[in-house]
Chains A and B, each alone.
Chain A
Amino acid sequence: MEETPQHCLSRLPDNSALKQQELPAHRLYFTARRVLFVFFTTGIFCLCMGIILILSARSTQEIEINYTRICANCAKLRENASNFDKECTCSIPFYLSGKMMGNVYMYYKLYGFYQNLYRYVRSRSNRQLVGKDVKAVEDCAPFKMSDNKTPIVPCGAIANSMFNDTIILSHNINSSVQIKVPMLKSGLTWWTDKYVKFQNPSSKNLADEFRGTTKPPNWPKPIYDLDKKDPRNNGFLNDDFIVWMRAAAFPTFKKLYGRLNRTHHFIEGLPAGNYSFNITYNFPVTRFQGEKSVVLSTLTWCGGNSLFLGLAYTVTGAITWLVSFAMMAIHITLKNKQMSFFHQ
């Protein structure tokens, strides 16, 4: 309707596609063909994925032993904080019916431990852990300073409550011969944690560096005594410490405790037979109705033996297929109706 002005006038708006809202556009049509195609393919994909996931999860082996009740006397002892210096050990024998092939991982698992509580998860000092300033404890309330005003290293509620049971796995070849299953205490953490997030202060002598600080109230020994044998696993760089410091998302969680060192007898994994866990019981859980387990597991490409994802995929795939059949039926009946309507 509007004739385009011949000469350029001062206030003439630009005639660009963007300004005139005339950009080339593609309309997204939900045609039956496209929608059904998408649904059927998604369904197939989900079903396949689900089956693959279930099969792989089934291919792993896992043993979980809950030792809260088995070591009840130890638990009882730990309920009273004044017994902190009394050692309590507990041995749990078990039988491995089939051998566990490949890499075997050992986890400790806690139930009802709220590592994700807000005021707990915040109580840590990343500045301290990165090794720059060991006295940076501002974020660590309520475990910033000891009573005589020396900064706590490592400070904060997370560090203070570090899991400190020792678990040793031994293979009982026969009633008299026990071999300690070799476990690696390295490679338990993310590379970034070990090499970026957690760093010891530069000097060689850790004890010097941490002078003027004190250990967390619940700890039996200071941070630089965590692993005296291996300096690369000591101080903030201790793998157990790093693993603990990565707070879990749920009140039930497991954390990696060790990997099978596949040498000699265990080159193929854990052979079948009698085993026992020798546990030094330090970590109290019964007061808050928590429980502790120790877990041995093998892995596949998709992790452990959790069936959830596989099942979820299978169910989703099945529902998608059902829905797509239903949609197809509705589409066809309506289309026929419409056709007959037009023919009248």
Chain B
Amino acid sequence: MSTERDSETTFDEDSQPNDEVVPYSDDETEDELDDQGSTVEPEQNRVNREAEENQEPFRKECTWQVKANDRKYHEQPHFMNTKFFCIKKSKYANNAIKTYKYNVLTFIPMNLFEQFKRAANLYFLVLLILQAIPQISTLAWYTTLVPLLLVLGVTAIKDLVDDVARHKMDKEINNRTCEVIKDGRFKVAKWKDIQVGDVIRLKKNDFVPADILLLSSSEPNSLCYVETAELDGETNLKFKMSLEITDQYLQREDTLATFDGFVECEEPNNRLDKFTGTLFWRNTSFPLDADKILLRGCVIRNTDFCHGLVIFAGADTKIMKNSGKTRFKRTKIDYLMNYMVYTIFVVLSLLSAGLAIGHAYWEAQVGNYSWYLYDGKDDTPSYRGFLNFWGYIIVLNTMVPISLYVSVEVIRLGQSHFINWDLQMYYAEKDTPAKARTTTLNEQLGQIHYIFSDKTGTLTQNIMTFKKCCINGQIYGDHRDASQHNHNKIEQVDFSWNTYADRKLAFYDHYLIEQIQSGKEPEVRQFFFLLAVCHTVMVDRTDGQLNYQAASPDEGALVNAARNFGFAFLARTQNTITISELGTERTYNVLAILDFNSDRKRMSIIVRTPEGNIRLYCKGADTVIYERLHRMNPTKQETQDALDIFANETLRTLCLCYKEIEEKEFAQWNKKFMAASVASTNRDEALDKVYEEIEKDLILLGATAIEDKLQDGVPETISKLAKADIKIWVLTGDKKETAENIGFACELLTEDTTICYGEDINSLLHARMENQRNRGGVYAKFAPPVQEPFFPPGGNRALIITGSWLNEILLEKKTKRSKILKLKFPRTEEERRMRTQSKRRLEAKKEQRQKNFVDLACECSAVICCRVTPKQKAMVVDLVKRYKKAITLAIGDGANDVNMIKTAHIGVGISGQEGMQAVMSSDYSFAQFRYLQRLLLVHGRWSYIRMCKFLRYFFYKNFAFTLVHFWYSFFNGYSAQDVSDKLSLRFPGLYIVGQRDLLFNYKRFFVSLLHGVLTSMILFFIPLGAYLQTVGQDGEAPSDYQSFAVTIASALVITVNFQIGLDTSYWTFVNAFSIFGSIALYFGIMFDFHSAGIHVLFPSIFQFTGTASNALRQPYIWLTIILTVAVCLLPVVAIRFLSMTIWPSESDKIQKHRKRLKAEEQWQRRQQVFRRGVSSRRSAYAFSHQRGYADLISSGRSIRKKRSPLDAIVADGTAEYRRTGDS
């Protein structure tokens, strides 16, 4: 099925989005809307992209002007933008980057401002002000100030530490150095001092500090190889080439220093693959394109040094434009907590109002006539009630939990440390432990619904290894010895007989070596010879070691394999290629290289052997090769079977074939070839046609199978996560086939998965839109939502969609608003209205589209988006976030994932690799994808459960505590009363230690409130009953309010601590210690505070002198406490026991049937493996992302003729080799 699709999508390119190219980022639409004059009907959405692209440079206004070596030029007034009143700033950003939030001056005001955005903090500030009013103040001022300062202080310190880390990081990057021309000489300068227009020099393996125009390099023709892994995740090298004129004249320092070129180009944007501009120099203009630009974040490879002119710096660079905004992330529970705090505000106000009214009434009835209460003021009862209202707001403040935020932060901090400490998330190989970089999101880890993963470097290691091959119908590559016997355990093949072997290849088939060495089957040798000769790899020799530079890792792996098996590619010139064939060196004349492109899906090379025969060697995707095979191919079927087997093992396959060409035939063909290569129009098409003519009647040699090595444990992790009902979307810049293949390899896709592609989706969505329009037009969202699935229920579906299709489907193409443009300058009111209306309609339509797409995609078990830009990755994440209201996690390793990582609720960076951008912007980082399961399923779950338990308990406790005041109000004339303010200050802090292993669910907020209310009633009314009539055993009446307070407080502390004990699922000594410690500490502190000594020192603060010792001497009071605690706790035990007996929860069951479940799981896994047997699926030809280097090779540009002739290098190398061989 997939192969059919391939041909469809490639042949109908005119009408369909191109699956091969990475589309523009969506903001291009915004940019270009203004320029576009033509009106295109929405039906004409599918415009030929090519045409647009060609028009583009002419349409584009070039307003960005850069003058080389002239800093003053860029400071001219007309480049200044007014930023702030009269402060002007150049529109050219400097190269310093700034990610920090505060500096020394702004820290305190800005941080305070941020913090007072929290409702509870603001509330306490208001409370503090209220307490300053003496008529209202019911509690001492410090009871609010101290916790508030504590809360603000702790948070501020945390923010400060975070920001200092950011400062450090910025400094580290800004202080990197490179060489810049200053005063006519190259001088070392820091990155932050680089400015637009500077000429800089970069060395091998340097990071490019800004977007620069390549002027010249040490390589021939000023080629420069760069690795763009940071930008797009592709690790193969790309080459950039400077203009001929700059290559010619700008090699030396003095010429570079006097370079006064003037560049006009487009304004900074986020398109990584596009650049248009013009260089004016020496009265001539030269067009510039993306091939001449090195982007910030790339690494210079294989090029000793290069020179460049800075075009965009700092924030203007493409990578920075792509990185998106840093968002302040908050968890669901944070929002919920805020919501709860608001609820509590309301409850609090209502309670206070009720009590205030009660008080006013009481004053009118009783208070006003009570001479003993006379206070010298003739306030009316209602005024007293009003004052009382505020008094209650203050006294009941413990209901609004200020310590909540601090406690939550502390708990999260602890959980983050547990993540950092986790040995099972430590990757020994790279010495990288897991790291929780933000400490505020932990419990969210337990709520993830969607994971968005990058492919390269995250799911895969980006290492291609030659795994198996099929030669002449025979499969090689299993574990077996030289005499074809299979073994489970066998040593790796020893390549020591081959001096060129790099010894990194792990191969276990000794029989293949036997075959090569014996030479019994000529096809075996032919096979590896083909691999050694048919490619566009560049070779580089350092210290006698061969270094291959391939356009794609696949090709590198194949050439490397051939080298290990004795066919080492040694050197090439423009028209020769030198191979060491089992020790003997032979040089072949290369007559033609028929390069790879994505349509052809194959490449061929025509060589003349030293004997004079002409041969064509070809490798390519099985689908294209099989069409071109000679009818008489005995091993066709066997190879086909082998391909199936390889595909089942998710190996990437290539077919190899060759053919002998008659001299005459070649001469004839060569003529056409020459004609086509100089054709001025449609040269590529002409060439393709010519290639087609010779690539036929091929003889099949066999097939190779390359493994795109997955990270360890990826399939297991994915299946575990799937069991946890987490959906995984793969977002990659890679090609469709590669992505699909990886989908199978990591078991995201299975044999019984139905795969839907872009066009299927498109038609489905169109149908749905039609439906919706019929129902309610574009305002369908106002109609009751229809939730009908897109697919029939049952069955396993996956979605594979490319970036271009994504744009198409989501109406992100530039034609989307063409209608509006027609009315660009509305003349009448009518037109303006129509304009806004149509705009709104389009917005609604787009929204509907997006929503439909997300709904559809979420019906699939797996979604793979390939060929997507960083911005699109972020967009996809955002769509799911927006329309599914689900918690998302993005995981990636490269700079191209930064945007997505920042967008998702939780961003995870793969650390331990070279680039750090992803890690820097992530919330969590670790070294291996598989640690994700532990992070989510273990730490996430625990954090979540603990947090919920904590919150539930916290609210319960707060309510139980605070409402005692409330009940008391009914007995003291509704006047505010302080049971024990010190306890409220002291205890939330104490409990944190004990709240490590509890079990709650946050949805039960109201249940816990109710529980709190009931507990508070018990806590109040039992002592009340007991106290009303009683006297102490010594005759004195213990019913004074201090004894009463001590009784209730003791009962409360014991009850809530025992409640923790009941809720603790696993008792460790820490729990036991903290619970009993809390109780002991309470009594200790109480006796301390009630002691005689402290009263003598501070008589007005510690008024409870002797209460504890006198009250707790009475057996009656102890009996009251015991009864209260028992009545509070027994129902809890009973309810828990009954619910466990009658409705056992999932975890109860799991606890009960632990062993049986384990056995089941194992069985399931085995079955899954077993199922992967029969297959019709074919792993497609996943080759390089771009054309090979054939052009470079045949034009001879890459050959180092300038510095040392190639032959000399080869001769040197071989001479050395021979010498070692002799001795």
- A is bound by B: yes
Output the nearest chain A residue to B362 by Cβ-Cβ distance.
A114
Please tell me which one of the listed residues B1022, B1037, B1151 contacts residue A107 in the complex, with CB atoms under 8 A apart.
B1037
A197 touches B1095 (CB 8 A): yes
| Cross-chain contact A288 with B371 (CB below 8 angstroms) | yes
Instruction: Provide the residues of chain A in CB contact with B1032, threshold 8 Å.
Output: 303
Q: By the criterion CB–CB under 8 Å, are A126 and B1041 in contact? A: no
13 A-B residue pairs with Cβ-Cβ distance under 8 Å, sorted by A, are A2-B423, A25-B997, A28-B1062, A114-B373, A116-B977, A132-B1099, A192-B1110, A247-B1041, A250-B1027, A253-B1039, A287-B369, A302-B1115, A327-B1134
Assess A301 versus B976: contact at CB under 8 Å? Given A25-B1067, A105-B1035: no
Q: How far is the CB of B988 from chain A (nearest CB, A)?
A: 23
Q: How far is the CB of A31 from chain B (nearest CB, A)?
A: 9
Are B372 and A113 in contact (CB-based, < 8 A)? yes
Q: Mark B572-589, 1 if CB is under 8 A from A, else 0.
A: 000000000000000000
Smallest Cβ distance from B437 to chain A, in angstroms?
A: 15
Interface residue? A19 (CB, 8 A) = yes
- B1036 and A256 contacting across the interface, CB-CB below 8 Å: yes
Check if B99 is an interface residue, CB within 8 A of chain A. Answer: no
For window 251-290 of chain A, which residues contact chain B by CB distance below 8 Å?
251-256, 259, 284, 287-289
By beta carbon, the residue of chain A nearest B368 is: A288
Closest Cβ of chain A: how far from B1134's Cβ, in Å?
A: 6
Cβ < 8 Å to A, chain B residues 1084-1131 = 1092, 1095-1096, 1099-1100, 1103, 1105-1106, 1109-1110, 1114-1116, 1119-1120, 1123, 1126-1127, 1130
Partner of B1116, one of A46, A247, A309: A309
Across the interface, do A117 and B373 meet the contact criterion of CB distance under 8 Å? yes
Given contacts A248-B1040, A256-B1037, contact A130 B1096 (CB under 8 A): yes
- Given A2-B423, A197-B1105, A323-B1134, answer yes or no on A30-B1140 (Cβ-Cβ < 8 Å): yes
Q: Are B426 and A32 in touch, CB under 8 angstroms? A: no
Sorted nearest first, the 3 A-B pairs with minimum C-beta distance are A192-B1106, A161-B372, A25-B1066
Closest chain B CB from A25 CB (angstroms): 4
- Beta-carbon contacts under 8 Å, B429-477 to A: 431-433
B1029 contacts A27, C-beta separation under 8 Å: no
B1037 touches A248 (CB 8 A): yes
Q: Does B1038 contact A (CB under 8 A)?
A: yes
Task: Assess the A15–B371 pair: CB atoms within 8 A.
Answer: no
**What 1/0 mask marks residues of chain A from 277 to 321 whose CB sits below 8 Å from any chain B CB?**
000000010011100000001011111111111001100100010
Q: Which residues from chain A contact B1141 at a C-beta distance below 8 Å?
A: 32, 330-331, 334
Q: Are B1106 and A11 in touch, CB under 8 angstroms?
A: no
Q: Mark B1017-1045, 1 if CB is under 8 A from A, else 0.
A: 00000101111111111111111111111
In chain A, positions 171-192 with a C-beta closer than 8 Å to chain B are: 187-192
Are B1036 and A121 touching (Cβ within 8 A)?
Answer: no
Per the CB 8 Å criterion, the residue count for chain B at the interface is 95
Judge if A98 is at the interface, Cβ distance under 8 Å: no
Contact of A192 among B713, B997, B1105 (CB under 8 A): B1105
Residues in A neighbouring B423, C-beta threshold 8 A: 2, 4, 12-13, 15, 20
A200 in the interface (beta carbon within 8 A): no
Is A309 within 8 A of B1142, CB to CB? no
With a cutoff of 8 Å between Cβ atoms, the chain A residues found around residue B1136 in the complex are 30
Residue A246 is within 8 A (CB to CB) of chain B in the complex: yes
Most buried by A among B366, B1103, B1151: B366
Q: How far is the CB of A109 from chain B (nearest CB, A)?
A: 9
Q: Is B345 an interface residue (CB 8 A)?
A: no
Q: Are B1119 and A254 in contact (CB under 8 A)?
A: no
A21-B942, A308-B1025 known; 12 new pairs, CB 8 Å cut-off, are A13-B426, A190-B1110, A248-B1037, A250-B972, A250-B1027, A251-B973, A252-B1028, A289-B366, A303-B1114, A308-B1028, A312-B1026, A313-B1119
> Is A339 part of the binding interface, using a Cβ–Cβ cutoff of 8 Å?
no
Distance in Å from the Cβ of A327 to the closest Cβ of chain B?
Answer: 6
Tell me whether A1 and B713 are in contact (CB under 8 A): yes
Q: Does B488 sit within 8 A of A, measured CB to CB? A: no
A residues in contact with B1127, CB < 8 Å: 316
Residues of A within 8 A of B942 (CB): 21
The answer to whether the Cβ of A61 comes within 8 Å of any Cβ in the partner chain is: no
Chain A residues with Cβ below 8 Å from B421 are 13-14, 19-20
User: Does A160 make an interface contact (CB < 8 A)?
Assistant: yes
With both beta carbons as reference points, the residue of chain B lying nearest to A284 in the complex is identified as B371
Distance of A301 Cα from B1113 Cα, bound (Å): 11
Q: Nearest Cβ distance between residue A2 and chain B, in whole angstroms?
A: 5
Residue of A12, A21, A32 with most chain B CB atoms under a 10 A cut-off: A21
Cβ distance B398 to chain A, nearest Cβ, rounded Å: 16
Chain B residues with CB under 8 A of A343: none
| Residue B975, interface by CB 8 Å | yes
Given contacts A141-B375, A251-B973, A299-B1035, contact A309 B1120 (CB under 8 A): yes
Report the separation of the CA atoms of residues A271 and B884 in the bound assembly, to the nearest whole angstrom. Answer: 86
B residues near A256, Cβ cutoff 8 Å: 1031, 1035-1037
Which A residues are in CB contact (< 8 Å) with B1067? 25-28
Question: Using a CB–CB distance below 8 Å, which chain A residues touch chain B?
Answer: 1-5, 9-15, 18-21, 23-28, 30, 32, 35, 38-39, 42, 46, 49, 53, 81, 103, 105, 107, 112-114, 116-121, 123, 125-127, 129-130, 132, 139, 141-142, 157, 160-161, 187-193, 195-197, 243, 246-256, 259, 284, 287-289, 297, 299-309, 312-313, 316, 320, 323, 327, 330-331, 334
Residue B1065 is within 8 A (CB to CB) of chain A in the complex:
yes
Task: Indicate with 1 or 0, residue by residue over B120-154, a CB within 8 angstroms of chain A CB atoms.
Answer: 00000000000000000010000000000000000
Say yes or no: B138 contacts A118, CB within 8 Å. yes
Task: Give the complex CA separation of A43 and B371 in angstroms.
Answer: 49
In contact, B1066 and A189 (Cβ under 8 angstroms) = no
Give the distance in Å from the alpha carbon of A179 to the alpha carbon of B369 in the complex: 39
Cα A300 to Cα B1039 with chains together (Å): 17
A290 to B485 Cα, complex, angstroms: 108
Q: Which of B367, B997, B1142 lies in contact with A330, CB distance below 8 A?
A: B1142
Q: Would you call A49 and B1119 a contact (CB within 8 A)?
A: yes
Instruction: Note all chain A residues with C-beta closer than 8 A to B1028.
Output: 250, 252, 306, 308
Using CB atoms and an 8 Å cutoff, list the residues of chain B in contact with chain A: 138, 366-367, 369-377, 391, 417-418, 420-424, 426, 428, 431-433, 713, 942, 971-973, 975-978, 997, 1022, 1024-1045, 1061-1062, 1064-1070, 1092, 1095-1096, 1099-1100, 1103, 1105-1106, 1109-1110, 1114-1116, 1119-1120, 1123, 1126-1127, 1130, 1133-1134, 1136-1138, 1140-1142, 1151
User: Bound state CA distance, A76 and B926, in angstroms?
Assistant: 86
Complex: chain A residue closest to B1110, CB-CB: A190
For the complex, what is the distance from the CA of A234 to the CA of B366, rounded to whole Å?
Answer: 34
A118 to B977, Cβ gap below 8 A? yes
Question: Given the complex, which residues of A lie within 8 Å of B1133, measured CB to CB?
Answer: 30, 35, 38-39
Are B424 and A2 in contact (CB-based, < 8 A)? yes
Chain B residues with CB under 8 A of A287: 369-371
Provide the residues of chain B in CB contact with A121, threshold 8 Å: 977, 1041
A210 to chain B, nearest CB (A): 18
Quick one: closest B residue to A298, CB to CB?
Answer: B1035
Which residue of the partner chain B has the closest CB to A7? B428
> Within the complex, what minimum Cβ distance (angstroms) separates A323 from chain B?
6
Looking at the assembled complex, report how far the CB atom of B714 sits from the nearest CB atom of chain A, in whole angstroms. Answer: 13
Q: How far is the CA of A119 from the CA of B779 in the complex (A)?
A: 62
Q: What residues of chain A lie closer than 8 Å to B1029, measured between beta carbons?
A: 304-308
- What's the Cα separation between A246 and B1032 when bound, in Å? 14
Q: Cβ of A196 and Cβ of B1095 under 8 Å apart?
A: yes
A11 with B1027: CB separation less than 8 A: no
Minimal beta-carbon separation of B208 from chain A (angstroms)? 30
A114 partner, pick from B973, B1096, B1103, B1114, beta carbons under 8 A: B973
Q: Please determine whether B428 and A3 come into contact, CB atoms closer than 8 angstroms.
A: yes
Q: Is the pair A316, B1126 in contact by a Cβ cutoff of 8 Å? A: yes
Chain B residues, CB < 8 A from A191: 1106, 1110
Verify B431–A11 contact, CB threshold 8 A.
yes
Q: Which residue of B lies closest to A132 (CB)?
A: B1099
State whether B431 touches A120 (Cβ < 8 A). Answer: no
CA–CA, A39 and B899, complex, Å: 59
Please indicate which of the listed interface residues A28, A161, A256 has the most CB atoms of chain B within 10 Å of its own CB: A28
